[in-house]
Structure 1
């Protein structure tokens, strides 16, 4: 048994494992489709003669600035300091990344909290979140100043753009509307995607507001025009991006996730200092040569803010109440069938051990 300080009660690693390595699983994708997965991540033959471990990590989507902390951890030698030889892979969406972990082609990944909750609560996925990368939502509801939308209640009967159908932004929109007492069916939600194109759609009157990441909003304000915005956290608090692994990894007693999180902690501390940003961008461009250095420099302050929103001393922390409250909202919105116990959603033991290294 291991004692979980966030729960205040012992949690058995074995009690978390609900499926064998050959179990099949139906996993919801962002668009509401399902994937049949078999097997779980975790390789019993990853220990080298010197005691170091070989492991793999898959991002949720590509090799962009959003995932730079792992690139920094590898390039600055922080993973190596803790005996971890990590292969970093760019994913092609959250569902694919989760599938990679459960199918055994990646040891760890990163998923939006909503997707992680839905996978575990609805499908009993053998998948657990081990640390929260962002301590605040990256999503904002944005509108033009001549017809500002300052709360979800003002969206009733109007049009709000989303990044993708069935994805995190549409789920957040539904939760915000329900929490505000608004029928989600009263709000049209065309796909406005990522980037700055939604601003022009709003100028043409095709959308009254849109949901986007805060870096896109900041780019619009800097390069195009003024906007009004509010964070989705104000009306639909949810756990943001988290690192995840399979329950087979937990069952194996491997300390790979501990080494991984220890390296990430050092990388975030390094990358949060402005004097290191040139090197951070160089590390990013090693993995993504097409990355725009000027844009990355402009977006880094917002990324650092999201890492440290709960205070530097709480980097990577998981707040159990945020997970429970978020899950309750998803149940209310009928996106989750029934609530899963907190110990099936998060496993903070690895982070507690990483802080001690």
Structure 2
């Protein structure tokens, strides 16, 4: 009963924290902080609509009047909610005739903090954010082991310890928040200043990147063949953000502006192949010697999840390096430095 109560309390606390931080961010950018509440409310409304829509799109058997208005945590797409939240804030700012880029910059930190609360709350929502250690090819968590404590592990209804991936995703959201703060204060240090309206983009990319990796191992989730639908949605959002970034680099005349997008697609393909190999390894037995295939079979989870983790890290590095190039275009000092070098 306690866990059922904690989930909505944490979500409500996250919304309150987001509104407060949003108001402070708006004030810093000379926008009336009173807009924080209606803009956030509009974002939450669209988050509900898109989160539910993406879930029902792949779970049509739950399409009913009761299903449309169900608040069960497992009946929402996190990525859909994330997209709806940001889109709702942007559209409400546009309707109120406020500067959308400045509003989105102000919402970058609140978005990450709200995502952190939501991810942490998943630990109290059944098996929504949990995984078995065996999924990674590791020994199960037992009483007395190093990970046998909350918030890194949670007992299920049978008393078995499960890995709380939601906690790791919470840490990822906090890292994204720190990244936003670092970019937001770039003008006060030697770093170049981000373009207006782009502060939220690296945060969204990082939130989706953590989901892209961890979603595969979760107990719950909608799976189409061997790919988790939530993982596919995360990849699409990341690709959209990267295309947007590469188009800005192209307009700025940067060298090889579309290379990051090509490498990203390569990482996605490698990630997808790793999941397929994990599910259908026997189909590739003819490509390896008996000794090599025997070793791969006994270390299948470690190898495949290792490759998936590597691809997720590469995606983050690609985006971060490309974003730094884009930011340098807006910094007069960086431009002057480039002219001096030329």
TM-score, structure 2 length as denominator? 0.26
More strand by share: 1
More helix by share: 2
Q: Name the structure, 1 or 2, with higher relative contact order (CA <8 Å, separation 6+).
A: 1
